């Protein structure tokens, strides 16, 4: 219908991203893809437009988000599509999802007592008579983990929570008990930075969204969590 809002698609299987996007007040469909596993060469113009990130190109979270969006395009033509990808970086190493429990314990032992950086890349494409370059963003937050002991790490890994999360912890779950502080966007660490997501979606024509700060507070309340001091922590 002419003048109607475009359909919104989230190219992600992550329940955390679906939850956060819902708290923004968005009506959307989620499509899971394996786009981030593709390794074909990206367009040179996309590579040139990627926000700077101190990791190898193949692991750049905005590129991985673009791959997810591209994979969803065939299933969702004429839609606004948003994709996101999150990585954890420590000492220049990208810590992805753990292979097994031993790997998860080793990751958490490296993170314990130290600060690391979480990067979430965002990509939004929108339909139109002529192709437009995708809108790209990259958000970084610094996270300080408590100096936890091996027994605490083992007990946390035994819950199973770390096994599908970059860096082997989930700040919104039990892993939040390991976190001392977040400098930057809290929801970046969860996997969908609300402020930047809101801005990109409004730019793409998605309307009637909740303000990011309100969505963040309501989401925290639903989780039974108290907000971290602001600053340094933001939505």
pLDDT at residue 1 in the model? 43
Q: What is the mean pLDDT of residues 130-136?
A: 87
Please indicate whether residue 226 or residue 235 has the higher confidence score (pLDDT).
235
CA dist 3 and 6 (Å) reads 9
Q: Is the pLDDT of residue 8 over 80?
A: yes
Whether 34 is a known active-site residue: answer: no
Domains annotated on the chain, with CATH:
7-234 (3.90.950.10)
Among the listed residues 117, 106, 96, 95, the one whose alpha carbon sits nearest the alpha carbon of residue 153: 106
Give strand ranges (E) for the chain: 7-10, 29-30, 79-90, 93-95, 115-125, 135-145, 179-185, 233-234
Which is catalytic among the residues 34, 40, 85, 91?
A: 85
**Angle in degrees, CA 184, 186, 192, rounded to 5:** 110
């Amino acid at each position: 219908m002419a003048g109607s809002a475009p359909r919104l698609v989230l190219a992600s299987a992550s329940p955390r991203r679906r939850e956060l996007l819902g708290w923004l007040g968005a009506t959307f469909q989620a499509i899971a893809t394996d786009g981030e596993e593709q390794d074909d060469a990206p367009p040179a113009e996309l590579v040139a437009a990627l926000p700077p990130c101190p990791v190898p190109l193949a692991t750049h979270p905005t590129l991985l988000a673009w791959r997810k969006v591209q994979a969803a395009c065939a299933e969702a033509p004429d839609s606004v599509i948003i994709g996101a990808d999150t990585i954890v970086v420590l000492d220049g190493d990208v810590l992805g999802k753990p292979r097994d429990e031993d790997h998860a314990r080793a990751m958490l032992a490296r993170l314990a007592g130290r600060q690391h950086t979480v990067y979430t890349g965002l990509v939004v494409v929108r339909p139109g008579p002529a192709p437009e370059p995708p809108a790209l963003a990259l958000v970084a937050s610094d996270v300080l983990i408590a100096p936890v002991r091996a027994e605490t790490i083992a007990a946390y890994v035994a819950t199973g929570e770390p096994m599908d999360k970059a860096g082997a912890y989930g700040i919104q779950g039990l892993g939040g008990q390991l976190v001392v502080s977040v400098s930057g966007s809290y929801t970046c660490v969860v996997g969908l930075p609300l402020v930047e997501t809101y801005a990109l979606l409004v730019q793409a024509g998605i309307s009637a969204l909740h303000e990011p700060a309100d969505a963040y507070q309501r989401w925290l309340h639903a989780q039974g969590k108290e907000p971290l001091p602001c600053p340094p922590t933001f939505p």
